[in-house]
Structure formats: structure tokens, C-alpha cells
Amino acid sequence: MTTAAAAGEKKAKKPLVGIIMGSDSDLQVMQEAADLLDSFGVPYELTIVSAHRTARRLYDYASAAKKRGIRVVIAGAGGAAHLPGMVAAITPLPVIGVPIKTKSLEGIDSLLSIAQMPPGVPVATVAINGAKNAGILACQVLSISDRALAEKVVKFKQEMEGAVLEKAGRLEDMGVREYLRRGGAKPQARNKQQQ
């Protein structure tokens, strides 16, 4: 590989999205954002930054993210979920917040902590455990200045539409009982976000 090509590859791998979370207990959910970015070919970094347990690390991460080339931050946290809001308070980058489902309050605590930001400091809040949507939204933000990525986003939406239309066709052809008998419906897929 030529030096120029190597440099190009290195540049291509420079993370554009910073995925952070308050604890490794959030990782299973936040992995869905990473998987989505992988499927779109968007480079990202992923680490743990706790707003309460590592406040100085939070400040350092949020202060340096833009200078390091990060363009969007995805921050997941549960309970008194101050990580996304505090990152948004420090960085000018767009911050997408993922409320993590909690045992005691089912994630309503996380959702309200992340969504109810004061005027002037927005956090784009997705559904409880909605890390996949956070990944999609990050791609959409980046696609504004990346034509190839914009095409992937359009293709993704077209495929989603196609999959629903295909199901609608099968349901209409078969009728409810046959559709269900063949295992056509997967209600657990909708519930996955709330797990």
C-alpha cells in the first residue's frame, strides 16, 4: 500500500461519531448504535464516560470531541441520566441522547432526564433503549455533507418501505390466520426497544 493510500485509509477510519455511555451496563443497548454505524460504514469510537463517577473525564471528552474530528455524539445513560445533557452543555456538536431502561422506573427516569433540557441546550432524545435510531439519526446528520452516505440513508428507507409493503401484500393474500400460522408477525421486534 502506498503512503498516500495508507494515509487515506487512516483518514477514512477517523471516528466521526462518538458513542459514549454512563456504564458498561449500558453496553448491550448502545451496541445497537455501533452495529448500525458499522452497517452504514460510518467510523465511530465507543467508550464509557460517567457524568457522576467521572465528571472530569466527561468535561475533557466533551471539550475535545469537536477538535478531534467528532461530528455527532451519541450518549446513553440510565436513571439520573445527566451524561447527554452535560455533554450538550459543553460541546457545540449535536448530541443524541439514548435513555436506558432502568429496573426501578422502566427508563421513564432516564427519558425525562435526557429529554427535559432547558431552552438553549437541546439533546435529540430517542426512545427508551432506542440506540438503533440514534445511529440512524447520526447517519442522517452526517449525510447532509456526505452524498454517498445520503444515498445509503435513502436506500435504507426504501428497503424498510419495501419490507413493509411485502408483508402487507402477503397478509392481504393469505388472510390473518394463515399469516400468523406461518409466523409472519413478530411483535417482539417492536418490543425490543423497550427491553
Residues that bind ligand RP5 (CB under 6 A): 21-23, 25-26, 50, 77-79, 100
Residue 20 vs 142, nearer CB to ligand RP5: 20
Q: How far is the CB of 1 from ligand RP5 (least distance, A)?
A: 40
| DSSP for 73-91, written as a single string | EEEEEESS--HHHHHHHH-
Q: How far is the CB of 30 from ligand RP5 (least distance, A)?
A: 9
The H-or-E segment that residue 39 falls in is helix 27-40
Residue 50 vs 140, nearer CB to ligand RP5: 50
Q: How far is the CB of 47 from ligand RP5 (least distance, A)?
A: 13
Grid coordinates representing 140 are 442522517
Q: How far is the CB of 79 from ligand RP5 (least distance, A)?
A: 5
Residue 39 vs 116, nearer CB to ligand RP5: 116
Per the listing, cell 485509509 goes with: 9
Query: Closest CB to ligand RP5 belongs to which residue?
Result: 22
Residue 134 vs 139, nearer CB to ligand RP5: 134
Q: How far is the CB of 129 from ligand RP5 (least distance, A)?
A: 11
Residue 78 vs 130, nearer CB to ligand RP5: 78
| Sign of the CA dihedral running 125, 19, 13, 68 | positive
The residues facing 45 across adjacent strands are 18
Grid coordinates representing 33 are 448504535
CA-closest candidate to residue 60, choices 25, 32, 23, 18:
18
Grid coordinates representing 14 are 477517523
